């Protein structure tokens, strides 16, 4: 798989430095990639290319990087956005976008390297799938694990909540689905015996509940005291990789 990457900065000197540093790190990781550079936000948007990673200067003429990110994400929701800026004023608004990284100029090589490594792992994770059978229709579906928000043991059935389609009940028991997910990825956790949660969608949690969201959908999973520490530790471990 060849990654498509864009770097956009209206300061040509900064653009060239960022381009060289990103290229150097990707070369070290032996990743197949193609990088396009843009000196203006308008040029990036007019290209209409669906990129995997985009590095955006926040302050760019009439269109700032946050506006650009919002428009890019409308076309492709799984772009990994890196904001590069000297300006802290945009942080609150930028946080609404769930950017992958916020980097200050001049870009620190180690922080950039960690951010790229994390994005590459997430992109790799999107290829991991499980196969399940719909209890009602008896159809078999292959589901990307990254699209699973959480699975729930409703007592008699297992319900899968997804980013890509409405929740549905599968024939496989909860423990089997959990084992299949667990064997492929490491970013799920179990706050309660009836829930197995994709930590990438967790907004907040305490010793009683876990708040989860995706797009305009919100959910609440139960947290038991006995599982809180393990869940909390795993969330902190995951945060190191974000």
Tokens linked to 177 = 């689905």
d(CA 222, CA 11): 49
pTM metric for this prediction: 0.68
Give me the domains of the chain, ranges plus CATH numbers. Answer: 3-125 (3.40.50.2300), 129-239 (2.40.50.1020)
CA 219 to chain CA centroid, Å, is 18
Each residue's pLDDT tens digit in the chain (242 positions)? 689 999 999 999 999 999 999 999 999 999 999 999 999 999 999 999 999 999 999 888 778 888 899 899 888 878 999 998 876 555 555 556 667 888 888 999 999 999 999 899 888 888 899 999 999 999 999 999 999 999 999 888 899 999 989 999 999 999 999 999 999 999 999 999 999 999 989 999 999 999 999 888 899 999 999 999 999 999 988 776 55
d(CA 207, CA 161): 23
d(CA 231, CA 188): 9
CB 212 within 8 A of CB 218: yes
């Amino acid at each position: 798989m060849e990654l498509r990457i864009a770097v956009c900065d209206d300061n040509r000197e900064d653009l060239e430095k960022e381009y060289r540093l990103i290229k150097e790190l990707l070369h070290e990781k032996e990743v197949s990639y193609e990088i396009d550079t843009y000196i203006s936000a308008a040029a990036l948007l007019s290209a209409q290319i669906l990129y995997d990673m985009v590095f955006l200067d926040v302050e760019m003429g009439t269109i700032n990087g946050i506006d650009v990110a919002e428009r890019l994400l409308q076309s492709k929701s799984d772009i990994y956005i890196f904001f590069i800026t000297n300006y802290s004023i945009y942080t609150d608004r930028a946080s609404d976008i769930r950017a992958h990284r916020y980097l200050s100029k001049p870009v620190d090589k180690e922080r950039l390297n960690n951010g790229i490594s994390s994005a590459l792992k997430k992109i790799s994770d999107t290829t991991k799938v499980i196969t399940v059978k719909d209890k009602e229709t008896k159809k078999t579906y292959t589901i990307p694990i990254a699209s699973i928000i959480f699975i729930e043991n409703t007592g008699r059935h297992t319900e899968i909540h997804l980013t890509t389609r409405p929740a549905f009940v599968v024939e496989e028991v909860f423990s089997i689905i959990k084992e299949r997910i667990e064997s492929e990825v490491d970013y799920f956790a179990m706050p309660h015996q009836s829930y197995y949660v994709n930590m990438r969608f967790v907004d907040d949690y305490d010793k009683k509940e876990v708040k989860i969201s995706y797009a305009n959908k919100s959910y609440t999973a139960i947290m038991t005291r006995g599982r809180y520490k393990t869940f909390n530790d795993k969330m902190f471990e995951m945060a190191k990789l974000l």
